[in-house]
Amino acid sequence: MSMRGSPINWWKEKRQSSHTGIPHANRPQTAFPWNEDRDISKIVEQAVLAAFESNAFKIAVASQVDPAFSRHQEKLNQIKTTNLNLESTLQAHVEDLPGVLESKVNEIHIPDHSDELNEIVSGQTRFLKTFETRLSALESRLEDLDRKTGDVDEAVVNADLRSAIRFGEISNELQDRNTTLNNSIWEVQRELGKKTDALQRRVVGACEDMGKSIRASAETIETM
């Protein structure tokens, strides 16, 4: 790839054209003019494209791709050969399969269980009849229990009514007796009050008589 127009050659040319006879202040700049028409990105792009289009790059790529392609092609051929062998083997087994299946099917013996099935059905019928009989007996017992429960409920209700009536009678009788007892107690208290008043009057009269006797005795003693 040609290096003409590259920054390095441009810098060398500028360095060679600058002599000591030129004043130091007016020496040309050695930096690459990045703002000129020769853009560095275009230069790099051209260099890369030239490298990709070179024969050396093509030879290097071919040297890496061809062996890998050959190996893949060899593996593909091996797979095809294996598939062909497998297909032939399967075809041979498929051709022999009907005869093998027929012999195996002929060897299968299906026993006759009709007698056992008939016995099972008859046993189920007997079981259903027995179960139905027991259900009928249980239903009759439940009806009897319902009837007895109804009788017990009626007896309990009647007993409750009798108990309530008897309780009312006893309550009324107790109330009457309480009233009679209160009246009797009031009469006794009244009679006892009368007797107490009479006794108090008698005591007061006796005390007065005793006082009179004491005073009379005192007067008699004084006169003596």
pLDDT of residue 121: 84
Percent of the chain with pLDDT over 70: 76
> Same domain for 28 and 75?
no
Q: Which of 101, 127, 161 is the last residue of a domain?
A: 101
DSSP per-residue string spanning 68-131: HHHHHHHHHHHHHHHHHHHHHHHHHHHHHHHHHHHHHHHH------HHHHHHHHHHHHHHHHHH
Decide if 97 is inside a domain: yes
pLDDT at 106 over 70: yes
Percent of the chain with pLDDT over 90: 3
pLDDT in tens, 31-48: 445 455 457 778 877 877
pLDDT of residue 20: 47
Decide if 35 is inside a domain: yes
Decide if 204 is inside a domain: no
Return the minimum-mean-pLDDT range out of 1-10, 102-111, 165-174: 1-10
Under DSSP, the state recorded for 38 is: S
> Same domain for 49 and 70?
no
pLDDT at 61 over 80: no
Instruction: Identify the band that residue 63 occupies on the pLDDT scale cut at 50, 70 and 90.
Output: low
* Region 157-172 average pLDDT: 88
* Region 70-97 average pLDDT: 79
Decide if 45 is inside a domain: yes
> Same domain for 47 and 93?
no
pLDDT of residue 95: 72
Query: The domain containing residue 76 runs over which residues?
Result: 64-101
> Same domain for 46 and 5?
yes
Decide if 6 is inside a domain: yes
Tell me which residue has tokens 């309780």.
167
pLDDT at 177 over 80: yes
pLDDT at 22 over 80: no
Q: How many domains is the chain built from?
A: 2
pLDDT of residue 89: 81
Instruction: Identify the band that residue 30 occupies on the pLDDT scale cut at 50, 70 and 90.
Output: very low
Q: How far apart are CA 93 and CA 88, in angstroms?
A: 9
pLDDT at 217 over 60: yes
pLDDT of residue 27: 44
The encoded tokens of residue 203 equal 């005591």
pLDDT of residue 215: 81
pLDDT in tens, 188-203: 888 888 888 888 888 8
Decide if 47 is inside a domain: yes
Residue 197, SS3?
helix
